[in-house]
Structure 1
């Protein structure tokens, strides 16, 4: 094996390890803050509502990513014109599909004991990713 081949293999391993740790932390924190700054996210949780006031899962520990996918998908379907929600959903779905963020469990099932309104759901996302950010600092 020559030196250039060894360099290529080492570089490839480095890229894969960095790629596997991608969590999109700062991007997700920024997007959730933009959504939280929107006053329409504080409406009450209504079990029968089909709008931004719908109840969304507040995930149990270890099930965050699957619940974030489900919740943002619901928001996206009901707020199709909001590109920030769409971007959040696509980011969470990619993280789950590609098992990129090793800091979060990649269970496909969203398990939760409670539901909350959009604001509570977004705050859960934000707290989860702020914890990851603290760990990375």
Structure 2
């Protein structure tokens, strides 16, 4: 039983490492601290109030790629961090590094939200991966 628990912990730590969990959490928190306005999502807006996909479970990576690409195209601040996040999400999706998130390369979502809601979705998703399992 003890060997099973140790093996499970090792697998989780490898998965978390391949997913760049700690870095994504840190950078996402930094972006959230940068006073993004939590204005309502508007389909036609070209600002921090733009609508970004809030992913369905299992389609997070494709939606995170799509959302960060939209943020880069619309000149939202912290371009270096958003570029890093976008490349990280794209790599995870392309190489299937974060198995608990990748089911397909299409972004599927029921709702859209503003930048703050989108970043909170990223944060919650990676915090769930980082959470130790019993």
TM bucket normalised to smaller: 0.7 to 0.9
Q: Give the alignment's TM-score, normalised by structure 1.
A: 0.79
What SS does the corresponding residue of 1:74 show, helix, strand or coil?
helix
Residues 57, 112 of structure 1: 8 Å contact kept:
yes
1:32 aligned residue: 28
Counterpart Cα distance in 1 of 2:119 and 2:15: 25
Which structure is larger by alpha-carbon Rg, 1 or 2? 1
Quick check: 1:48 aligned with 2:40?
A: no
1:11 aligned residue: none
Q: Which runs of structure 2 are paired with 1:18-97 in the superposition (5 Å)?
A: 18=14, 22-79=18-75, 82-97=79-94
Counterpart Cα distance in 2 of 1:33 and 1:59: 19
1:133–1:38 CA distance, 2 compared to 1 (3 A): same
Q: How many residues were matched structurally?
A: 120
Quick check: 1:110 aligned with 2:101?
A: no
Extract unaligned runs of 5+ from structure 2: 1-13
Q: Give the alignment's TM-score, normalised by structure 2.
A: 0.81
